[in-house]
Chains A and B, each alone.
Chain A
Amino acid sequence: MKPEQTFFDDPALDRAFGVVMALAQEVWVLRDRVQAMEAQLAERGVLDSKKLSEEPASDERAAEREAFVANLMQQLVGEQQSKGMP
């Protein structure tokens, strides 16, 4: 196959923007599915849409969120996670 056309000085930007757009598409596909699911569950009385959308009284998922953020930010540290090559 031929190399893809490029539009920026650094082809890394062409490719990275492709990743951004692919992720954005995934976000929309997921959001669409979640909203459709909520609508179907609410229709059957399984889910209380109003309660779901309220600001939570407590920080319900703090620990999971912190683990999520820690994993994300760990990438920036630039340290090997096992004994390895320089």
Chain B
Amino acid sequence: MIDGRSFAAGQAFLLSVKAHWTRVIYPAVRAEYEKSNDSFQKNVLYRYFCWLERHLQRFKYSGRYGLQPYHAQDRARFEASLAEAEVELREEMAFPQYYTAIDIHQHPGGVWSDPIAGFVYERGARSTTPLAGTRHKDLHERLTAAALDGRPAPQRMLDMACGFGKSTRPFYEALPEAEVEAIDFSAPCLRLAAREAQRAGARKVHFRQRDAASTGYPDASFDLVTSTMLLHELPPKAVERALAESARLLKPGGRMVHLDFLPGESEFERLIHFGHSRRNNEPFMEPLARMDLPALLGRLGLRNVEIRPFEEADGALAPGYRYWRFPWALISAER
């Protein structure tokens, strides 16, 4: 049995360690890298940096005060609370091999196999960015602002790989008149997303269990197609299919906006990012970084293709910024 106070204290401890890792250990690793020769892989501080990235996440999900055991002991209540959720599910959803082979984020059972996985994921996502301070505007709100900025409000939009609905919410709140479609593979996440939307009084958002590579919507269905942290979970062939599907679904003049991670050219940045990929059980970050996305989007007949760094928190793109961060990138194109 894990009581609530001990769970909160255990998780808060991990978050404090992660914040220290972000703000103190990472800059120190970088400084050692800059003065090192080619034996950096043997650097002791770097090894602790790697160990902590791997195992703090393990503690967070599976440890003595982990998200999974904490939520599992209250399973009946969590499952019952999803009964009201209105969501379109498939009886025999065929998952691709890449989706089920590895538990992403070290989430035991992945984000899809356990009926309470949405709750575990949601709670975990609250502490993914330890630098999120008081002035922090949530990155999903920032994406929404970037996607809607200076353009006519979309009438119909699709959010691919919506998860438990965190990325969809600022869209349906900003666009109460729009038809918002949101799709994902994970039934537990979709149920939680739908429950939250119902509780928020959102009437024109629909959650459906569908594959972003093959959505089943007619051609030219949407003014806006979005995804947040989808592409790096896909092998390159699936990235190609998801982007081709995005292009197919756009009305002429419509726009796709995909928020993801693309490291710069620096060796250090790539070492850290590709290492994170392995340590966090997300194997496709490196293949994504090696894809020629502008060429791919061009072949799909899209125009105004733009890939630019994305400021996920105030000051994160400032030249003197020294803390660990994801290499956020906004990938957009118009049909």
Q: Contacting chain B: which of A29-37, A43-51, A55-63, A78-86?
A: A29-37
A68 within 8 A of B: no
CB-defined contacts of A33 to chain B, threshold 8 Å: 5-6, 9
Number of chain B interface residues as a range: 20 to 34
- Interface majority SS on B: helix, strand, loop or mixed? helix
Contact between chains at A25 and B47 (CB < 8 Å)? no
Contact between chains at A36 and B5 (CB < 8 Å)? yes
Contact between chains at A14 and B64 (CB < 8 Å)? no
Contact between chains at B13 and A5 (CB < 8 Å)? no
- Interface majority SS on A: helix, strand, loop or mixed? helix
Q: How far is the CA of A38 from the CA of B6 in the complex (A)?
A: 16
Give which listed residue, A17, A26, A28, A29, contacts B51 with CB less than 8 A.
A17
Give which listed residue, B13, B278, B279, contacts A25 with CB less than 8 A.
B13
CB-defined contacts of B5 to chain A, threshold 8 Å: 32-33, 36
A30 CB to nearest B CB, Å: 9
Q: How far is the CA of A17 from the CA of B59 in the complex (A)?
A: 13
Contact between chains at B14 and A25 (CB < 8 Å)? yes
Contact between chains at A28 and B54 (CB < 8 Å)? no
Chain B 1-36 interface 0/1 with A at a Cβ cutoff of 8 Å (1 = within):
000011001101110010000000000000000000
Q: Which residue of A lies closest to B278 (CB)?
A: A5
Q: List 19 A-B contacts (CB under 8 A).
A: A5-B279, A7-B47, A7-B48, A17-B51, A21-B17, A22-B63, A24-B13, A25-B13, A25-B14, A25-B63, A25-B64, A25-B65, A28-B9, A28-B12, A29-B6, A29-B9, A29-B10, A33-B5, A33-B9
